[in-house]
Amino acid sequence: MQRDDPHLPEAGTQALLFDCDGTLVETMHLHRMSWGRIFERYGFTITDEWWDRYANVALAPFVRAVIPDADDALLVELLDEANVDFNASLHLAEPVEHVIELARKYRGRLQIAVVVGGYRDVIIPTLEGAGIAELFDTIVTADDVVHSKPAPDVYATAMARLGVEPSQCVAYEDSDIGIASARAAGVGRVVDVRDW
């Protein structure tokens, strides 16, 4: 990694905050396959345009975009089904090595967190499958907050756990919703890994 790499944290940074799906590990195609199988039962085929719009939103609006009358019980049932299907396909996930390299480089020098809009029962196996779960000081998921991304809650929770000010942090994200979440929480710098 070059010294003038614009992705590196600048002096004064205290914490690095990483999204997981699509940032640390390439898994979005696996989520799409899992939900695609479920939604096919409802006569719906996920298009690229639909996926780009809904892939990173919270569970309720995600499912209700396809099944408008889905009640809370159905949301939980479909999420459980999707998670089982996703976890069974984790062997197809691909680590994003240049982002993981950054986490490894600063492990022990800066505080490092995973900050996601997804749920713990999917995120932990994803990190463990990539062999990187031990890199992080804390992992904040949708299970830890009332409002997931694009609300600032997951980022605010991570920074509170780490005891750092938002201005001292750099977030690494791969979606507009994740970037909006980090910015809403006041994170000092947000790196869009899609440009990396």
Q: What is the pLDDT of residue 1?
A: 44
Q: What is the pLDDT of residue 3?
A: 47
CA 6 to chain centroid: 22
pLDDT string in tens for the chain (196-residue length): 444 688 899 999 999 999 999 999 999 999 999 999 999 999 999 999 999 999 888 899 999 999 999 999 999 999 999 999 999 999 999 999 999 999 999 999 999 999 999 899 999 999 999 999 999 999 999 999 999 999 999 999 999 999 999 999 999 999 999 999 999 999 999 999 998 8
> For 21, which DSSP code?
B
Q: Which SS3 state, helix, strand or coil, does residue 23 take?
A: coil
Chain segment 109-126, per-residue pLDDT in tens:
999 999 999 899 999 999
Angle formed by the axes of helices 28-40 and 72-88, nearest 10°: 130
Residues 6 or more apart whose CB falls under 8 angstroms from that of 151 comprise: 145, 181, 184
Question: In which residue are the tokens 């197809």 written?
Answer: 92
Q: What is the pLDDT of residue 33?
A: 96
Closest Cα partner for 185 from 155, 164, 162, 159?
A: 155
Tokens of 176: 């507009």
Chain segment 89-100, per-residue pLDDT in tens:
999 999 999 999
